[in-house]
Amino acid sequence: MANLKLSHIYKVYENGHKAVNDFSIDIADREFIVFVGPSGCGKSTTLRMIAGLETITAGDLLIGDTLVNDMEPKDRDIAMVFQSYALYPHMTVYENMAFGLRNRKMPEKEIKERVMKAAKILDIEDYLDRKPKAMSGGQRQRVALGRALVRDPKVFLLDEPLSNLDAKLRAAMRTEITALHKSLNTTFIYVTHDQVEAMTMGTRIVVMKLGYVQQIDTPMNLYNEPYNKFVAGFIGTPQMNFFDTTLKREGDKVIVIFQNGDKVAVPYEDVSKIHNRYLGGDVKVTFGIRPEHISVSKEGKGLKFIVTNVERLGSDSIIYGKLGDHLGEFTMKDEGNMIVVKMNDSSNIEVGDVLYAEPNPSKVHFFDAETEITLMSKIPPFNTIEAAVSGDSMTALGKKVALPAAFKAAIGGADRFELVVPPRAIVPGNDFELKVARIEKVDNDRLAYLRNGDSYVFALVGESVREGDTYQFAFENEKLNVTVGGEEVLKAIDDEVSLLGTFSKKELKEGHDRVLHFFYDIGEYSLETSPEQGYKINSIDGDNCYKYTYRYAVNRNAVRIVGDDEPGLNGRVVAFCDYGNIRFAKVEADGQEFLITVDPKFAADKVRVAFNSEDVSVYSTRIDMKIC
């Protein structure tokens, strides 16, 4: 039994191919985690890194509380089951199962107990004397499972274990492996390219594409709230329908306008998380609806389509159609005009029928046509709020408040501008107030819908805030973007200070020994770091590490102003940025510029800064990769 933690794991193969990028997940004890994605997305590589069969380029892998990056596979207390079974053909089932234990010099008596117990669980007690070739695929896969089982591992890793089996056996083995997981109470990590296996077996699923994690969630959350178009299309059969559309808000409705001019209306309340900028009718939006969430009628509202094929599967049917009412000849260009509907009763539907498809408004999905990211994130990424300038004040959300000097400088002489406000930048305060129309629990957060005219401002609020309350709040000004007529004039200040530097080692005499010390060097500032960090950088980049440039990132709050007697980086203060509630000094040092937080009275033109090496994250500048 064990929990696992993968923290910023990367795999770069020797030929330079980056197979896994920044993979992080906390896996609780006894979870059944499935890695799913198309061939080549990095699933097996990740699994093999967990098993210890592949080195980890960067990142930390913990099993329980132990860092195991450099631990031998046999010491990791992990058992792996492969697609190919990998049974020894000349050995009996019993010997195959006992082999690993004998290698560990386990007493024969205990080996026998363990093999018999596993054989019983897997229902292969009657085959123990057979050789693998005298067994069916399903039985062989059970032996492969048995060989893992007898080791009583903390973690089971399974790499496409069912892909050599026929469809019927696969379905049966799915159930058996799920039952095995339940009875063993052990952590399982299972790799498959088959979304049905993922959906039916996983307690949580990691969807991957081209080496990047797309979404980690429960099967139902992936199905109901896919983060992007890729996940939406990958999970669910038949696949979700996608259409190029534009959206137009009309009162309490949002009209979805298809390329052929057809329209479908959905209540604004169901899609109010979509940002206003998509609702003006001029931005391309990908509309998604699952085949099972469409109802069909012979006359009436919705998308007109002509039936091109009907697949009757017994309990339900799949109707294929083409938008419009002409069959014509099918060309590949028609793809975006195709519609697939899943329904129970198709007895009165024939090829050539002209029908109307009506999406269930509470099951619709919308994606940005370019980024393919959902427009209905559980927590909307930002609100856009109009502001008008009068002298040193601004009016926003019906309140007149001080205009921060940094905003005033950025907008030039403009008398109107927009504040781009992430929900997390809205905090209790006295500047603004809006009524709380609704509160939604999103994971560990509470998302408030604050009524603002005919739409909402989204904010994260504490436990004490209730629906119907008037919420009083302010903005953390430094976390906002500012735009004038949609053009960005000021970027939010991120939480980190980033500095480029090099890495060095010195051998110093300590008593009778010479001991290696490692340093992050930024200009004249040499910051000693722990031997662990030093060895990590060294193991990733080899001796070249002393030639490369690294990016050192530190949380801004961890940067201290220090006196001349402490090691530090000397800089010139070139400007101040005043956000009202918080003030920054722009510092130039070692030819680089960065912002530090200063108190309101700070006025010096020189400053010396320092930070602790434990607070520094190190990034490679050659490949986009966090090293430690």
Residue 471 has phi, psi (to 5 degrees) of: -95, 125
CB of 306 to ligand ADP, least distance (A): 39
Distance of closest approach, residue 190 Cβ to ligand ADP, in angstroms: 12
Which C-beta is closer to ligand ADP: that of 43 or that of 304? 43
- Rounded Cα distance, 570 and 523, in Å: 9
Rounded Cα distance, 180 and 121, in Å: 8
* Residues constituting the chain: 628
Closest distance to ligand ADP from the beta carbon of 84 (Å): 14
CB of 51 to ligand ADP, least distance (A): 12
Residue 17 or residue 277: which is nearer to ligand ADP going by CB? 17
In the bound complex, what is the minimum distance in angstroms from residue 74's beta carbon to ligand ADP? 21
- Helix, coil or strand: residue 238: coil
**141 with 96: CB under 8 angstroms?**
no
What is the number of alpha carbons within 13 Å of residue 467 lying toward its C-beta? 6
Per DSSP (E only), the strands in 328-398 are: 338-343, 354-359, 365-368, 383-390, 393-396
Question: Could you please report the per-residue DSSP string of 519-548?
Answer: EEEETTEEEEE-HHHHHHHHHHHGGGGGTS
CB of 169 to ligand ADP, least distance (A): 22
- Identity of the residue, 15 or 464, whose beta carbon is nearer to ligand ADP in the bound complex: 15
- Taking the complex as a whole, the smallest distance from the CB of residue 625 to ligand ADP amounts, in Å, to 15
User: With left for phi above 0 and alpha for psi between -120 and 50, is residue 30 left, alpha or beta?
Assistant: left
DSSP 1: -
Minimum distance of ligand ADP from residue 38's CB (angstroms): 7
Q: How far is the CB of 230 from ligand ADP (least distance, A)?
A: 14
Q: Do residues 584 and 595 touch, judged by C-beta distance below 8 A?
A: yes
Q: Which amino acid is at 447?
A: L
Task: Give me the least distance between CB of 400 and ligand ADP, in Å please.
Answer: 56
Burial 20-45 (b: 16+ CB within 10 A, else e): bbbbebebeebbbbbbbbeeebbbbb
228 token code pair: 């992007």
Among residues 195 and 245, whose Cβ is nearest to ligand ADP?
195
Q: Provide the 3-class DSSP secondary structure of residue 470.
A: strand
Q: Which is nearer to ligand ADP, 13 or 330 (CB)?
A: 13
> Where does residue 105 rank: exposed (0-12), middle (13-18), buried (19+ CB within 10 A)?
exposed
Name the residue nearer to ligand ADP (CB basis): 15 or 344.
Answer: 15
3-state SS record for 9-56: EEEECCCCCEEEEEEEEEECCCCEEEEECCCCCCHHHHHHHHHCCCCC
Q: Taking the complex as a whole, how short is the minimal distance between the CB of residue 37 and ligand ADP, in angstroms?
A: 6
**Nearest CB to ligand ADP, comparing residues 48 and 142:** 48
Between 207 and 448, CB nearer to ligand ADP: 207
Contact 157, 80 (CB under 8 A): yes
Q: Kindly state the smallest distance separating residue 35's Cβ from ligand ADP, in Å.
A: 8
C-alpha 119/C-alpha 121 separation (Å) is 6
Q: Which of 51, 585 has the CB closer to ligand ADP?
A: 51
Burial class of residue 324 (count of CB atoms within 10 Å of its CB; 0-12, 13-18, 19+): middle
| Contacting positions for ligand ADP (CB under 6 A) | 13, 15, 17, 19, 37, 39-45
Instruction: Indicate the pairing of strand 18-27 with strand 616-620.
Output: unpaired
What is the per-residue DSSP string for 582-602? -EEEEEEETTEEEEEEE-TT-
Main-chain dihedrals φ then ψ at residue 319, nearest 5 degrees: -105, 130
Determine the longest span between alpha carbons in the chain, in angstroms: 93
Indicate the residue among 163 and 539 with the shorter CB distance to ligand ADP. 163
C-beta closer to ligand ADP: residue 41 or 165? 41
Minimum CB distance to ligand ADP smaller for 41 or for 148: 41
Listed residue (216, 164, 248, 247) closest to 36, CA to CA: 216
Q: Compute the least distance from the CB of residue 15 to ligand ADP, in Å.
A: 5
Least distance in Å: CB of 83 to ligand ADP?
A: 10
48 vs 181, beta carbon nearer ligand ADP:
48
Instruction: Give the distance from CA 364 to its chain's centroid.
Output: 21
Angle between helices 137-149 and 93-103 in degrees, nearest 10 = 20
Fill in the amino acid letter for 330: F
Long-range CB contact pairs, 488-494, < 8 A, 24+: 489/410, 489/411, 489/412, 489/417, 490/406, 490/407, 490/410, 490/411, 492/420, 492/422, 492/425, 493/556, 493/577, 493/584, 493/595
At 552, list the tokens.
Answer: 């050192």
Q: Of 37 and 571, which CB lies nearer to ligand ADP in the complex structure?
A: 37
Shortest reach from residue 342's CB to ligand ADP, in Å: 29
Residue 362, Cβ density class (10 Å: 0-12 exposed, 13-18 middle, ≥19 buried)? exposed
Distance of closest approach, residue 142 Cβ to ligand ADP, in angstroms: 23
Residue among 19 and 222 whose Cβ is closer to ligand ADP: 19
**In this complex, which beta carbon is closest to ligand ADP, that of residue 28 or of residue 53?**
53
